[in-house]
């Protein structure tokens, strides 16, 4: 079945630095790629998403890029702040189903 | 307020004692799903439902049952819980034919099976 690999599993950065999380996938029919943020003890929440007809999308300090040829997509966070500390999950929607496949998550720690 | 609710939020039980975790959404979503979250394994889908009376297995369905008798409710049933089902469980819902397909998650249920 469809699979998505997420790297790194943990990431520690200094406040103000950038953070990049990358996910790779195998199903070329995947057409929707969301990113979810899960703060400690909370539920996952959508922070940004991108569809397959777009190469990049930006929302303030957060951006997502998609390379359909290489089958990978990445989350970029600039000017990181302590409140960005959380677990981030990439996901994709495969083929004709409404089934979201999640990555294994990245624990981002922003050191003040 | 549009939301997904789950009950109970915390549950400690013993092996073999049947339990049900309820999930309800008030957004008229067709799609509902159950996930379990374990350290290092991310969110794994247990069961999902595309609409009333339509359910299907996810990636880790063994030991679980679900039902979808009404659009708003999607309970998760553990007929005979075992310690390896100790986990954090999330219910989620979304529109089926939305261009955005955002899934809204419930607050989670932390289950411990002794």
Residue B99 confidence (pLDDT): 62
pLDDT in tens, B5-26: 999 999 999 999 999 999 999 9
For chain B, give the mean pLDDT: 94
Q: Is the pLDDT of residue B68 over 90?
A: yes
**8 Å CB contact between B37 and B87:** yes
Residue B103 and residue A9: Cβ atoms within 8 Å? Answer: no
The mean per-residue pLDDT over the stretch B47-72 comes to 95
| Residue among B43, B102, B107 minimizing CB distance to A89 | B43
CB contact under 8 A, B94 and A9: no
What pLDDT is stored for residue B96 in this prediction?
A: 80
Q: What is the pLDDT of residues B30-51, one digit of tens each?
A: 999 999 999 888 899 999 999 9
Percent of chain B whose pLDDT exceeds 70? 97
Q: How far is A91 from chain B (nearest CA, A)?
A: 10
Averaged pLDDT, groups of 10, chain A, 112 residues long: 88 98 90 94 94 89 95 97 97 75 94 93
* Residue among B35, B44, B50 whose CB faces A98 most closely: B50
Q: Do A93 and B101 touch (CB under 8 A)?
A: yes
């Amino acid at each position: 079945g469809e699979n998505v690999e997420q790297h790194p599993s943990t990431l520690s950065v200094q406040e103000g630095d950038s953070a990049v999380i990358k996910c790779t996938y195998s199903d070329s029919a995947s057409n929707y790629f969301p990113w979810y943020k899960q703060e400690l003890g909370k539920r996952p929440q959508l922070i940004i998403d991108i569809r397959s007809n777009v190469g990049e999308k930006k929302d303030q300090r957060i951006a997502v890029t998609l390379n359909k040829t290489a089958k990978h997509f990445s989350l970029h966070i600039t000017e990181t702040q302590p409140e960005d500390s959380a677990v981030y999950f990439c996901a994709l929607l495969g083929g004709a189903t409404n089934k979201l496949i999640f990555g294994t998550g990245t624990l981002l720690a922003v050191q003040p | 307020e549009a939301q997904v609710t789950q009950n109970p939020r915390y549950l400690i039980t013993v092996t073999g004692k049947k339990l049900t975790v309820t999930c309800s959404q008030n957004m008229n979503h067709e799609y509902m799903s159950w996930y379990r979250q374990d350290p290092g394994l991310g969110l794994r889908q247990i069961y999902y439902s595309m609409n009333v009376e339509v359910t299907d297995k996810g990636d880790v369905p063994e030991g679980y049952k679900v039902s979808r008798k009404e659009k708003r409710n999607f309970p998760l049933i553990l007929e005979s819980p075992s310690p390896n089902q100790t986990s954090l469980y999330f219910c989620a819902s979304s529109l089926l034919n939305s261009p955005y397909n955002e899934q809204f998650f419930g607050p989670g249920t932390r289950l411990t099976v002794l």
